[in-house]
């Protein structure tokens, strides 16, 4: 999904406020001309420990969001150090390759 960086904490207007496809009249009609500035980070669930190793995180770090595995549409997040994300990615790929090599499908 992405990275959490120092820039994630900066306050800025939502992208649609400065979108040239929206006329000033449309912005007023939908209240977009009165939008407050928000930081990207306010829209995500933060974790202060790495999903893989459990140690405290520092910025920047890797952030992923996906299903909670129990219900459709519900999302959970994982946050990881860059090295932990790289290691997990390699292990997931290795496991998937093992399954594919079994020719089960």
Q: Which uninterrupted H or E stretch holds 82?
A: helix 82-101
Q: How high is the pLDDT of residue 58? A: 87
Domain that holds residue 67: 2-101
- This prediction has a pTM of 0.59
What's the number of domains the chain is made of?
1
Report how far residue 36's alpha carbon sits from residue 2's, in angstroms, rounded to the nearest whole number: 24
Q: Measured between alpha carbons, how far is residue 46 from residues 2, 75, 78 in Å?
A: 13, 13, 9
Q: How high is the pLDDT of residue 16? A: 64
Q: Measured between alpha carbons, how far is residue 103 from residues 23, 57, 91, 97 in Å?
A: 55, 39, 20, 10
Report how far residue 32's alpha carbon sits from residue 52's, in angstroms, rounded to the nearest whole number: 40
Q: pLDDT tens digits for the chain (105 residues)?
A: 577 777 776 766 666 667 788 787 877 776 666 666 555 555 556 668 899 999 998 888 888 877 777 777 677 788 899 999 999 999 999 999 999 999 776
Q: How high is the pLDDT of residue 82? A: 93
């Amino acid at each position: 999904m992405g990275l959490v960086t120092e820039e994630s904490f900066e306050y800025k207007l939502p992208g649609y406020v400065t979108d040239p496809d929206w006329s000033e009249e449309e912005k007023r009609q939908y209240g977009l001309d009165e939008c407050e500035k928000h930081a990207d980070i306010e829209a995500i669930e933060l974790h202060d420990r790495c999903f893989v190793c459990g140690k405290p995180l520092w910025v920047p770090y890797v952030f992923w969001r996906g299903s909670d595995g129990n219900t459709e549409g519900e999302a959970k997040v994982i946050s990881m150090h860059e090295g932990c994300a790289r290691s997990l990615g390699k292990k997931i790929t290795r496991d998937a390759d093992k399954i594919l090599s079994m020719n089960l499908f």
